């Protein structure tokens, strides 16, 4: 722990640096805690939770070492209107859409009158997720009208979840130098990997408010929702693809090589979200005309006594073309994060963490319709406004 004498010594050493730049508030942190410097000469210890994960536009971190070289100090302060930054991804598909070259470029403009040499560069972003907490499960009643639905009177206990905000930093693998009033482009990822091409219908209509942990309670009984089939490519953010890192969100330009190996065709411009290691990225290529899904809610019951909810859906898949088509179909249990699938008439895979259900390789002959139906029960619902 830095004592009072050392605090005054540190403050004195950095006072001149800070005053030259007109900085009146900085964060001073060592391995034992976080300190805040106010008006340079007043250092007060505060709890880490109060200022931890402070992320501002254009931040600069400085490492200070005391005279005796006993304390490694990290000094962080906000430097607004100092840097302008952007993320740009470029991708090139092979002519048969089986392989993709992928690179990411970070652009930074130093609009200050100061130059920076051998600096560590980090990109920081915040992610909201749900974390399980112990919770008992209320008893429930069978709400489905269909006699074929098999629902036990008490679902298996499933822990409830709470909203957690985490901060991630992507650190460039090498130090950078940038002169005053200058620009620099840095390639932070460059790789090539196989991609999977498929025909996808996503029937995900909405999701509950994860940030505020608020459920979706509105019924859509007998309301038809239409979803078009799309040709997409997908790939994994994994080490085998020379990825497996936190990829910051940014704009992406996707091109495709023509069969002669010389020409290039522009496919799309889009944006991609933050991607975690082992995550999956999906890029839309085009809408498939004449192939679509009509999603209809066939049953909905909300029980305000034990705060549980049940609903059923029909997904009518239609192929109006003259050729057979193979589809992947996905939907999401969007009302709440504690749920149980109680009935489904088709083979499927279930991502329990994401609440996503997927039907793979559904073959539909020309001029044909087919139906997928399922029922789901939500329980342990919280933050319900019954007014």
The least confident of 85-94, 123-132, 336-345 is 123-132
User: Would you state the pLDDT for residue 240?
Assistant: 92
The pTM of the full predicted model, rounded to 2 decimals, is 0.63
Report residue 54: phi and psi, to 5°: -80, 115
* Tens digit of each residue's pLDDT (9 = 90 or more) over 290-310: 999 999 999 999 888 888 999
Whether the Cβ atoms of residue 250 and residue 88 lie closer than 8 Å to each other: yes
Say which residues have a Cβ less than 8 Å from residue 59's Cβ, sequence separation at least 6: 76, 77, 78, 79, 124
Listed range (48-62, 115-129, 150-164, 303-317) with the worst mean pLDDT: 48-62
Q: What is the distance between the terminal CA atoms of the chain, rounded to a whole angstrom?
A: 52
Chain CA centroid to CA 32, Å: 32
Q: Is the pLDDT of residue 315 over 80?
A: yes
Cα–Cα nearest to 317, from 230, 228, 233, 231: 228
The more confident residue out of 149 and 331 is 331
Name the residue with higher pLDDT: 31 or 15: 15
User: Bridge-partner residues for 318, per DSSP?
Assistant: 292, 369
Residue 115: both structure tokens together: 């130059």
Name the residue with higher pLDDT: 233 or 22.
233
* Integer angstrom CA distances of residue 193 from 12, 100, 169, 189, 247: 54, 6, 25, 13, 16
Domain spans, the chain = 4-78
Stretch 303-320: mean pLDDT:
92
pLDDT confidence of residue 224? 84
Average pLDDT, the chain: 76
Task: Classify strands 196-202 and 325-332 as parallel, antiparallel or unpaired.
Answer: parallel
Mean pLDDT of 125-142: 50
Kind and range of the H or E element at 49?
helix 48-51
Of residues 128 and 34, the one with the higher pLDDT is 128
**Nearest to residue 181, comparing CAs of 116, 106, 88, 87?**
116
The answer to whether residue 155 scores a pLDDT higher than 50 is no
Question: In the numeric block, which tokens belong to residue 380?
Answer: 């342990």
DSSP β-bridge partners for residue 207: none
Interacting residues of 202 by C-beta distance below 8 A, sequence separation 6+: 227, 230, 330, 331
Please tell me what DSSP assigns to residue 239. G
Q: What is the pLDDT of residues 241-277, one digit of tens each?
A: 989 888 888 999 999 999 887 899 999 999 988 888 8
Using alpha carbons, list the distances in angstroms from residue 124 to 49, 77, 385. Answer: 18, 14, 35
Give residue 317's pLDDT.
97
With a cut of 80, say whether residue 47 has pLDDT above it: no
Which residue from 377, 293, 336, 358 is spatially nearest to 206, judged by alpha carbons?
336
Looking at per-residue pLDDT, the higher value among 177 and 174 belongs to 177
- Average pLDDT of span 211-227: 72
């Amino acid at each position: 722990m830095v004592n009072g004498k050392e605090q005054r010594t540190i403050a004195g050493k950095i006072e001149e640096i800070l005053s030259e730049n007109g900085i009146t508030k900085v964060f001073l942190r060592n391995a034992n805690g976080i300190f805040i410097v106010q008006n340079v000469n007043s250092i007060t210890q505060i709890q880490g939770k109060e200022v931890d994960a402070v992320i501002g536009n254009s931040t600069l971190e400085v490492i200070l070492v005391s005279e005796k070289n006993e304390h490694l100090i990290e000094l962080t302060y906000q430097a607004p209107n100092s840097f302008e930054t952007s993320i740009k991804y470029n991708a090139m598909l092979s002519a048969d859409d089986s392989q993709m070259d992928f690179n990411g470029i970070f652009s930074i403009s130093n609009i200050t009158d100061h130059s920076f040499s051998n600096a560590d560069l980090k990109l920081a972003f915040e992610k909201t997720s749900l974390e399980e907490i112990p919770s008992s499960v209320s008893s429930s009643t069978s709400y489905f009208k269909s006699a074929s639905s098999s629902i036990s009177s008490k679902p298996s206990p499933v822990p409830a979840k709470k909203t957690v905000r985490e901060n991630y930093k992507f650190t460039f693998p090498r130090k950078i130098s940038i002169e005053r009033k200058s620009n620099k482009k840095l390639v932070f990822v460059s790789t090539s990997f196989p991609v999977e091409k498929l025909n996808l219908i996503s029937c995900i209509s909405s999701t509950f408010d994860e940030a505020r942990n608020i459920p979706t309670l509105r019924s859509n009984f007998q309301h038809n929702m239409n979803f078009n089939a799309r040709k997409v490519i997908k790939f994994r953010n994994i080490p085998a693809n020379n990825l497996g890192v936190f990829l910051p969100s940014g704009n992406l330009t996707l091109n495709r090589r023509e069969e002669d190996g010389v020409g290039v065709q522009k496919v799309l411009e889009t944006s991609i979200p933050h991607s975690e290691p082992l995550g999956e990225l999906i890029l839309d290529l085009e809408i498939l005309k004449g192939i679509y899904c009509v999603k209809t809610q066939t049953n909905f019951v909300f029980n305000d006594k034990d705060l549980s909810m049940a609903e059923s859906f029909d997904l009518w898949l239609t192929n109006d073309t003259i050729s057979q088509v193979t589809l992947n179909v996905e939907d999401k249990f969007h009302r709440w994060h504690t749920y149980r699938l109680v009935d489904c008439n088709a083979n499927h895979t279930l991502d329990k963490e994401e609440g996503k259900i997927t039907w793979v390789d559904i073959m539909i002959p020309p001029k044909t319709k087919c139906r997928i139906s399922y029922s789901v029960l939500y329980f342990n619902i919280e933050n319900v406004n019954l007014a």
